[in-house]
Each structure stands twice: as structure tokens, then as C-alpha cells.
Structure 1
Amino acid sequence: MTIEVRVPTLGESVTEATVATWFKQPGDAVAADEMLCELETDKVTVEVPAPAAGVLAEHVAAEGETVGVDALLATLTEDGAAAAPAAKSEAPAKSDDAPASSGGAGESVKVMVPALGESVSEATVSTWFKKVGDTVAADEMLCELETDKVSVEVPAPAAGVLSEIIAGDGETVAAGAQLAVISAGEGAAASAPAAAPAAAASSAGAKNAPSAEKMMAEKGISASDVQGTGKDGRIMKEDVQKAASAPAKSAAPAPAPAPRAPVAASDADREERVKMTRLRATIARRLKDAQNTAAILTTYNEVDMTAVMEIRNQYKGEFEKKHGTRLGFMSFFVKACVHALKEIPEVNAEIDGNEIVYKNYYHVGVAAGTPQGLVVPVVRDCDQMSFSQIEAKISELGKRARDGKLSMAEMQGGTFTISNGGVYGSLMSSPILNPPQSGILGMHKIQDRPMVIDGEIKIRPMMYLALSYDHRIVDGKGAVTFLVRVKEALEDPRRLLMDL
């Protein structure tokens, strides 16, 4: 019986992914739920398990290929017949024109742009990892393409010598266009040693993440100098970032150069121009679209954090001992926002065509910084959660975000967002909406300031709050009232218990 392995759901707004690594090869026996391959989207990595036990019969989508949701990735043979894949793998060896066995000049093999996805018709050549004259092994990465959503690596279709590059760095190419030419056969035997150091994890049978390979090539870092933390020692992008930021190894001091007269350099000589990637260009366009589509307005207030800080200092030890998680500020802000959203429901709504959709549930996105950038995991049904449950969930999502383990589902469906620029020292900012949401709260740095309290000047820990909102849905009165309710709940947390 043949069993199909298909691309799982990737999230509401994600329609395609790139096959990063196959952990199993045709002919391998696999157990149910054993990981077969890994897919990469522009935000997360998704592992694909075997739907049943059997033998992997065929790879339908190779490493580096872009696949859509529910696309066929591979097939399994449930009856355990491994003979068919074995026979298939031997077929190339019997072919008279097999590139690997040819000792002559060999044939020319075209390197083509792979399928980019149903809605993607073109890509930009981002980086060539090989140059003309280099020997390449079959399936060795030649170059990387960038689309609006993902990066696609192009492997060599055969072993040989890269004889011509048709589309250079920065050129835009259509799906199915020719990228390069490989002279298959000649030099193929020599290409195997060249490909050997591609990954420190290769001895364990694990291939590095494509994003890691790209970064190592860009930064001139050898895989032997990187400690892989992925599955089976696989090198991930964050491993390369860590290696790049490590102090350089000490070397014998070079002799001091002879003194030279200083040469004046123009401003242009000291500038560096780097073409914007398609991904960065898309992010820029979408942020601008949010500003152009929504009528974004920001209102400000400030909150005295004395009461929250006193409660936190008094109970944090007991809280952590009982619940196994630290008591932070974010649970207070989430609770205060839910309290205010119930009174001002338009801040928890969105526009859909000519209709306003009011959300009678409270899924709060909490922005988190990671080595890959800012992500916004969502804490669902916050109104039904206790302080300890909120803190535990935020801690769990934050760790998964830093480890690059968030799923797309965990970053979808938010109805309101909280962004804490205060952790980076921001004193004041105007956050941009996260469409289609109509509101986002910006938290900022807590700073001691002199305040007039009951006619006396006292030093209080103050924080500026900023609410950016879509003025098409939320009027000024609603926005100001929302922020005042958040302020009141934080300055007197007992109001949350009394639902006041």
C-alpha cells in the first residue's frame, strides 16, 4: 500500500515553504511519527513526521524545492518493500551517460530555476556559492534565490564543473528560467572532496540549515568553526551568528607597517551600498501598506508603576515557589488590556470589507525579540487565564521564539498586540499596527521621575504608554478611555479583582 506524505498546514498567511533537509532517504525504514524532513518558511522551521510505519519509497520534492500547502513531498510503502527504491537508486549507475561515471568531457546539464510556488512568478539571484570553473558534487548548493516570502537554494542537478553562470547576483529570473550550465562528468571525481567540508555535521548524516550555509558563505566562516545545536549536530543560523560574534582567536602579532602619510577619503569612498533583499523589500512594503490602509493615530498617557512593583516585590518569591514561574510585569498589562478591551470592544475589532468584525475573545500577541528578528506569538483566551497561567505561557512562547521553534499557528489569530520597547531602553515610541488588528499598546522604560502627589513632590517609577489605533474603527474618545482604563487598572490592581 502506498502512503502519501504531504506538506502540513503552515499558517493562515503562509502558502509555501522550502524543503530544507531530508532526514530519510529512499529505501530507509521509518517508524510512525519519525521525522522525515524539515521545511523552512520565512519565519519558522516545520518538521514533517511519517504518517505511518513503512519504507520511504520516493522523494517527490527534493531539498531546496519550494512547495505549497498540501503538496506531495514523498511516498511510503507500507508493506516494507525496499527492493523498488534500491533498484531505482541503481539505475543511474547502469546508464551510459551518467555524469558520475563519465571520464570524458561529459554532457552539458542546465541549471534551472525551480518551482517557486503557485503565486510566485519570479525571484532574484541573491548569492552564488560557486564560481565558473569550480567543481561541484550532485545536490551541492550552487546559489540562493529570494522571493517575496522565502529563500530558495538551488542544488546542482549533477556532478561536474560549473562552466557558465547565465544569471548573476542581483538579476531577476522567472520560474523555469536557466541559471547556469554544468559540464557533467569532467572533474566530477574531484568534486567529492571539495564538497566534504560543507558541514561539520555531515559525519552524522545531518545537513546544515540552508540559511546557515548562506550565512557561513557570506561571513567566510568554516563549518568546522561552528558548533551545531540542531538535530544530529546540524548547524542552524543562530549557531553561525554565535560563531561570528565570538572573539577572534589570538594570533601572532603582525609586524607594524611603515608609517604612511594619511590619505583623505571622500564620503563616497567610505559608503557601502548593499541591494535590499526581496524579503526586506516586502517587509518594508507591508509596513507602508499598513500605514496607507489604516488611519493610524497614537494617543499617549503615563502610568505610576508603584502599586504593581510593590505587589511584585512582595509576592514574587511565593508566586514562583507555588506556580513554578516568575512573576513579571507582562501579566499585569495583559490583564489590564483585556479589562479595557471589554469596555471598548472596537479596539478588539477589525474591518473586513464594508463590515466591522467584533471579536468576543481575547487573543493577545506579545512581541518578543529573537536573534532572527521580532516575532509576535499569541496568548489565546487571556480573559480565561490566571496571572500564573499567563506568565507561564509567555515564558514558554518566549523560549520557543528564541529557539526558533514557534509554529505559524502560534503567531496567527491575535486580536490585539502589546509591544515592550522598554526592555531595550525606549522611553517613548509610536508603534505601528499589526493588520488587521485595530490596536497595539506600546510599553516603555520605567524611569523615576518627580511627580506631584497630594500637593507634594515625590519620586515615582513612571512609564509612558502609547496606544496606536485605527481611527476608521476607533474614535478618539474610545482610544483615550481605553488607555485611561489600562492606567487605572495598573495604578490600582485591586480594580482587576473587582472588575471596575
Structure 2
Amino acid sequence: MSKLLEIKVPDIGDFSEVEVIELLVAVGDRVEAEQSLVTVESDKASMEIPSSDAGIVKSLKVKLGDKVKEGSVILELEAADNVVDQPVSAAKTTTAPDSSPAVSQAPVQATSSSAPAAAGDVINVVVPDIGDFSEVEVIEVLVSVGDTVDVESSLITVESDKASMEIPSSHAGTVTSLAVKVGDKVSKGSVVLTLSPTGQQVAAAPVSVPAQPEQVVQAAETMTKLPSSDRIDETATVPSEFRVSPTASFASTMMPSRNLPHASPSVRKFARELGVDLAQVKGTGEKHRITQDDVRKYVKATLTAAMSTRSTTSSSSVGGGLSVLDWPKIDFAKFGPIESKPLSRIKKISGANLHRNWVMIPHVTNNDEADITELEALRVKLNKEHEKAGIKFTMLAFIIKAVVASLKKFPEFNASLDGDQLVMKKYYHIGFAADTPNGLVVPVLKDADKKSISEIAKETAELAKLARDGKLSPSQMQGGCFTISSLGGIGGTSFTPIINAPEVAILGVCRSSYKPVWNGQAFEPRLTIPLSLSYDHRVIDGALAARFNAYLASLLADFRRVLI
């Protein structure tokens, strides 16, 4: 027999509502206890909500963009009889309001599993009360076998999703054995190490807490099955009123046991977005912790070295000794009134992608222009003919059709790099940048080669409206082969659009204008439109880019060529 279980949002701290930004499972999926189900986001942080039980997903009760709060039903699970019960989930545990110690507070006092012992006895030093956390991860071991430690000497550093803290020794003595290593999960009562005491008195006389090794091992094995995920770093930057309850995020965000570079979750996310292996970065922070500045310096140093290696000149003539200055930190309020305004979520996400694309892709831009005098006349005529049908032909629709024809003639532009392989695509999905109140988004028009001009005009208008209303689904922004960024309704003569990886080219279009053009006998006014083609120089060379742009311009000048 089986039963349906409602999986609900656990205690999420002081947040009244959070938004669902990612669904990690689908109907029919089998999930385990502690497996992440959805990702939610507040205005301060994002977190994954884990499952409290194992089973088969029968129905989803939330979708992207929904607002949820503690107690909201996420999905229904069918729990089969043969599903093995898991240890109690941290997501199911209700805790008191956050009372965990901050990093700046006095260090946690370790306890021993026995009363003060005489010299020659062996003392087990165990993890003391660590607040509301059931388990924390050992991120640093500060002593070795044979070391002599005093009372209050730090033994290990542990980290939760709230804070990092050092566990000090409750006794003085010589370390005879270590019971933990980096990556282990420990909890209150876990043995840290054994000491051969020197006879000094304990700094305090805390209550003895017996270790429970079977429960610790069982919980650790359960945790190592969880998917890797960055933890939210709230140790000094997030006010207490916005901190996330450990029941909502701790169990689902702990890393599997392995040696990890010493860095905060936010730095790990920043490095992942740039494709940086933190194991290669030298930390300059306290106790060699890696900072965002360390990651930036590593990227800049790597790019400088790569440029020097590729150059035909010597490294010294390319500025091999050039150092990159740190980003300036300025108190702007000293110079006059200021106002701080947070970036929108779209700008934060697109900003990271644009930064990665600009740093990782060797951009070159080819500028040309097309004579669209006849095409504009045709567009105006078609709008009048289809006015009653409600179809509005835009220049973008004609450009998309011409771009598809150009991609068929120059297939290298309809490709993506995958390592050393060039993936040639046989479909034509065209993205176009849409201006919204929160920033630019890129809807994707699927199978543009199979659609008429009127169908393209209608669908692009619908996608643009969804973008402005913030209702685009992820599938409507995925799968693009080539992107068009049009500033025609705003202005400009040319610009350098940034390639939308993993694509290899992007077309920028500016406002059309009339110019005097010599026809062999006299100057006549012609309507021209600027074309700015940015391309990945690893895949496309300058001559090929110039031919693509020239061919595209010829199609726009005489649209009958699109039919050939």
C-alpha cells in the first residue's frame, strides 16, 4: 500500500513570502529524503527546499514565479512501502528563533567526555553545544598529532550556513589522535580528538554530553548523498531580520565530504559563474580564505598570461610585469548626496553572464550598413493592407528572415563551441533582445525558417509583451542559435553587442536614417540601417564576418533574394 504525502515549505526564518525561481523535480521523478525540490529567492538570498520524505512525485503544487511561505504545499509524494525511512530531515525540524552565535562573539567552549583527569589519562575532547544546528562541517583542522595545546587553544574550524566558528580545547595536553578530518560532519557530542593531559584544570565545567557515533555516521552518510549546492553566506553581510532559518537551508546545502578551498558560498558562486577552479586560487583573506578580489586577480592574471603566450613578441614587450590595480573603493557620500539602489534580479543575472562572455570570448565587431529604402516602403504598404487583421509588420521581422537566409549560406554562424568541437546546428532559433522595465531579456523565436513574415511579426510581438510583463517561461528563453539586438527605436549609429554564449555571433541594429547616395549620375536620398556584427574570433575570421554582413545587407536591400 502507498499513501500520498504533502511536502510543505519548512520554517524559512523571518521571511513572510519567497518566490519560486526554479523547479528541480517533475511529476514522475523519484526523490529521496533531503533531496532538493525547488529553489526559492527573497530580496536577500536564495535557498533550496529539500524533501522531508522519499517517494514518487505525483503532482506539483507550485510553478515558477509563485509566492510561497512556511506551510505552503510544494508537491505530493507517493510513499511506497519499500521506501527506506531516512533520518529526520532538518527541514522537518521546528527550531526556536535564530540564536546561533555570530563569528564576532566569544569562541565556543569545547567540552570533554569525562571529568578532569590525572596526568597520563586520555581525555576525549568533544563538540560542545552549537546552538540550533544539528550538524556542521569541519572546514579546517588546526592541530596535528603530537601538538601541545592549552585550554582555549583552537582545535578545528566548523561552518554552518550561518557562520564559521572555532572549537577550542577544554583541556591542556598533547594530542594523541584526531577523530575528524576536513569535510567531516560533526554535531554536539562528536569526538574531536584525544588528549594526554598535562594536569591543568578545565577552563569551565560544562555538562558532559556523550558522543553518539552511530547517529553521527548515519547522518553523515545521508548528507553525502545530497547534491552539491552553494550555501548562503550570511555571516556578516545580512542583517539578522533577513537571516534564513537553518531548518530551511542547512541540510540541503551542505557539501559532500571532500577537501574544499576555504571560501564563502558567495565567492564559490562568483567563481563558478566565471569558470574558475578555486583550487588554483591563492587566498589572501584571514586564514587564507579566498575573496572575490582573489578570484578577479586570478582571472586577470590568467588572461594576461594567455595573451602573452599567444603573442609573437616577447613577454616583456607585452607588459609581462604589468599588475592590475584593485577596484577603487570610494566613499561617494564625501562628495555630495547619494542614493543606493539595488540592481534588479534580471540585471544581476545578466550582468554575471555578460561579464563571463566578455572575458571568455575574443570579440571582434564588423560594421556595415544596408539600403532598406524599398524594404521600408514594402513594410509600410503591408501594414496598411493588414491593418484590419491587427498584424503589424516590424523591421525586426524582415531582419530575422534575412538573418536565417544568411545563416544557411554561412553555417559557421549557426554553431556553438563544445571544447574542441564545433557543433553545427540544423535548426534556426533566433533570439532578440527585449527592453523591459527591469532590464534586457532575450526571448527566442523557434524555427524561424519555417515561419512567414506575418507569423514572425505576430510571435515576436507576443514574446516581447510577455517579456515586459515578466511572464516569459525558461523554455521561451532557451535554445537560441543567433541573437539580434535592435536599438532602432532609440538611436545610435553603431555599437559592439556582446555575444550571448554559447552562440558565436550577435547582430546589433541601430536607427535607420536617410543619406545621400551617388547613383552614377546624381545623389539621391536612400534610407540606410547600420549593422554591427560581433563574432567569436576563435570560430569566425574577419573575412567571413565581412562576407556575412555584406550578404545580409544585400538581402535587406532587395528582399526578393530571400526567396532564392
TM category, shorter: 0.5 to 0.7
**Aligned match of 2:470:** 404
Does residue 1:309 correspond to 2:331, yes or no?
no
Question: Alignment partner for residue 143 of structure 1, among 225, 232, 242?
Answer: 242
Where in structure 1 are there 5+ consecutive unaligned residues? 21-32, 40-44, 48-60, 66-71, 79-91, 100-108, 132-141, 145-153, 158-171, 176-265
- Secondary structure of the 2:353 match is helix
Q: Which runs of 4+ in 1 moved over 3 A?
A: 1-11, 33-39, 61-65, 109-118, 122-128, 154-157, 172-175, 271-286
Whether contact under 8 Å (2:24, 2:38) holds in the other structure is: no
Q: Whole-Å Cα distance in 2 between the matches of residues 295 and 98 of structure 1?
A: 53
The alpha-carbon distance between structure 1 residues 16 and 430, as it changes in their structure 2 partners (threshold 3 A), is: farther
Q: Whole-Å Cα distance in 1 between the matches of residues 70 and 497 of structure 2?
A: 39
Matches of residues 411-422 of structure 1 in structure 2 within 5 Å? 411-422=477-488
Question: Alignment partner for residue 384 of structure 1, among 436, 450, 456?
Answer: 450
Tell me the CA shift for residue 77 of structure 1.
8.6
1:323-365 Cα distance to aligned partner (Å, 9 max, x none): x421111110001100110011001111101100011111000
Amino acid corresponding to residue 121 of structure 1 in structure 2: R
Q: Whole-Å Cα distance in 2 between the matches of residues 275 and 64 of structure 1?
A: 32
**RMSD, aligned α-carbons:** 4.4
**Aligned match of 2:385:** 318
Tell me the CA shift for residue 110 of structure 1.
6.0
Matches of residues 428-439 of structure 1 in structure 2 within 5 Å? 428-439=494-505
**Aligned match of 1:121:** 231
The alpha-carbon distance between structure 1 residues 461 and 3, as it changes in their structure 2 partners (threshold 3 A), is: farther
Q: Whole-Å Cα distance in 2 between the matches of residues 370 and 404 of structure 1?
A: 8
Whether contact under 8 Å (2:434, 2:467) holds in the other structure is: yes
**Aligned match of 2:357:** 290
Whether contact under 8 Å (1:127, 1:143) holds in the other structure is: yes
Whether contact under 8 Å (2:230, 2:265) holds in the other structure is: no
1:32-80 Cα distance to aligned partner (Å, 9 max, x none): x9983354xxxxx269xxxxxxxxxxxxx95599xxxxxx9333799xx
Question: Alignment partner for residue 40 of structure 2, among 13, 18, 22?
Answer: 18
Amino acid corresponding to residue 291 of structure 1 in structure 2: W
The alpha-carbon distance between structure 1 residues 405 and 5, as it changes in their structure 2 partners (threshold 3 A), is: farther
Whether contact under 8 Å (2:432, 2:485) holds in the other structure is: yes
Amino acid corresponding to residue 550 of structure 2 in structure 1: V
Whether contact under 8 Å (2:374, 2:558) holds in the other structure is: yes
**Aligned match of 2:395:** 329
Q: Whole-Å Cα distance in 2 between the matches of residues 383 and 376 of structure 1?
A: 19
Tell me the CA shift for residue 471 of structure 1.
1.1
Amino acid corresponding to residue 299 of structure 1 in structure 2: N
**Aligned match of 2:561:** 495
Judge which range, 349-358 or 270-279, deviates more.
270-279
Tell me the CA shift for residue 387 of structure 1.
0.7
Matches of residues 334-349 of structure 1 in structure 2 within 5 Å? 334-349=400-415
Q: Whole-Å Cα distance in 1 between the matches of residues 550 and 560 of structure 2?
A: 16
Tell me the CA shift for residue 467 of structure 1.
0.4
1:134-184 Cα distance to aligned partner (Å, 9 max, x none): xxxxxxxx327xxxxxxxxx4799xxxxxxxxxxxxxx9769xxxxxxxxx
Amino acid corresponding to residue 438 of structure 1 in structure 2: V
Q: Whole-Å Cα distance in 2 between the matches of residues 10 and 370 of structure 1?
A: 30
Tell me the CA shift for residue 475 of structure 1.
1.6
The alpha-carbon distance between structure 1 residues 321 and 307, as it changes in their structure 2 partners (threshold 3 A), is: same
Tell me the CA shift for residue 274 of structure 1.
5.0
Q: Whole-Å Cα distance in 1 between the matches of residues 510 and 463 of structure 2?
A: 21
Whether contact under 8 Å (1:143, 1:155) holds in the other structure is: no
Q: Whole-Å Cα distance in 1 between the matches of residues 442 and 71 of structure 2?
A: 27
Q: Whole-Å Cα distance in 1 between the matches of residues 5 and 537 of structure 2?
A: 49
- Secondary structure of the 1:341 match is helix
Tell me the CA shift for residue 18 of structure 1.
0.7
Amino acid corresponding to residue 378 of structure 2 in structure 1: I
Tell me the CA shift for residue 17 of structure 1.
2.6
Judge which range, 307-316 or 330-339, deviates more.
307-316
**Aligned match of 1:482:** 548
**Aligned match of 1:75:** 76
- Secondary structure of the 2:365 match is strand
Q: Which has the higher contact order (CA 8 A, sep 6+)?
A: 1
Whether contact under 8 Å (2:443, 2:477) holds in the other structure is: yes
Matches of residues 332-371 of structure 1 in structure 2 within 5 Å? 332-371=398-437
- Secondary structure of the 1:440 match is strand
**Aligned match of 1:37:** 62
Q: Whole-Å Cα distance in 2 between the matches of residues 314 and 471 of structure 1?
A: 40
Q: Whole-Å Cα distance in 2 between the matches of residues 294 and 64 of structure 1?
A: 45
Judge which range, 276-285 or 376-385, deviates more.
276-285
Tell me the CA shift for residue 456 of structure 1.
1.6
- Secondary structure of the 1:301 match is strand
**Aligned match of 1:229:** none
Tell me the CA shift for residue 120 of structure 1.
1.2
Q: Whole-Å Cα distance in 1 between the matches of residues 502 and 421 of structure 2?
A: 13
Q: Whole-Å Cα distance in 1 between the matches of residues 485 and 38 of structure 2?
A: 28
The alpha-carbon distance between structure 1 residues 155 and 370, as it changes in their structure 2 partners (threshold 3 A), is: farther
**Aligned match of 1:2:** 3
The alpha-carbon distance between structure 1 residues 327 and 3, as it changes in their structure 2 partners (threshold 3 A), is: farther
Q: Whole-Å Cα distance in 2 between the matches of residues 366 and 455 of structure 1?
A: 40
Q: Whole-Å Cα distance in 2 between the matches of residues 64 and 372 of structure 1?
A: 30
Does residue 1:423 correspond to 2:489, yes or no?
yes
The alpha-carbon distance between structure 1 residues 325 and 46, as it changes in their structure 2 partners (threshold 3 A), is: farther
Identity in percent: 32
Amino acid corresponding to residue 470 of structure 2 in structure 1: G
Q: Whole-Å Cα distance in 2 between the matches of residues 18 and 298 of structure 1?
A: 39
Whether contact under 8 Å (1:19, 1:37) holds in the other structure is: no
Q: Whole-Å Cα distance in 1 between the matches of residues 520 and 486 of structure 2?
A: 30
Whether contact under 8 Å (2:484, 2:508) holds in the other structure is: yes
Amino acid corresponding to residue 242 of structure 2 in structure 1: C
**Aligned match of 1:300:** 367
The alpha-carbon distance between structure 1 residues 363 and 283, as it changes in their structure 2 partners (threshold 3 A), is: closer
Does residue 1:395 correspond to 2:461, yes or no?
yes
Higher-Rg structure is: 2
Q: Whole-Å Cα distance in 2 between the matches of residues 5 and 409 of structure 1?
A: 28
**Aligned match of 2:539:** 473
Whether contact under 8 Å (2:493, 2:511) holds in the other structure is: yes
Tell me the CA shift for residue 422 of structure 1.
2.2
Tell me the CA shift for residue 423 of structure 1.
2.1
Q: Whole-Å Cα distance in 2 between the matches of residues 486 and 465 of structure 1?
A: 9
Whether contact under 8 Å (2:366, 2:545) holds in the other structure is: yes
**Aligned match of 1:136:** none
The number of residue pairs the alignment matches comes to 313
- Taking structure 2 as the reference length, the TM-score comes to 0.48
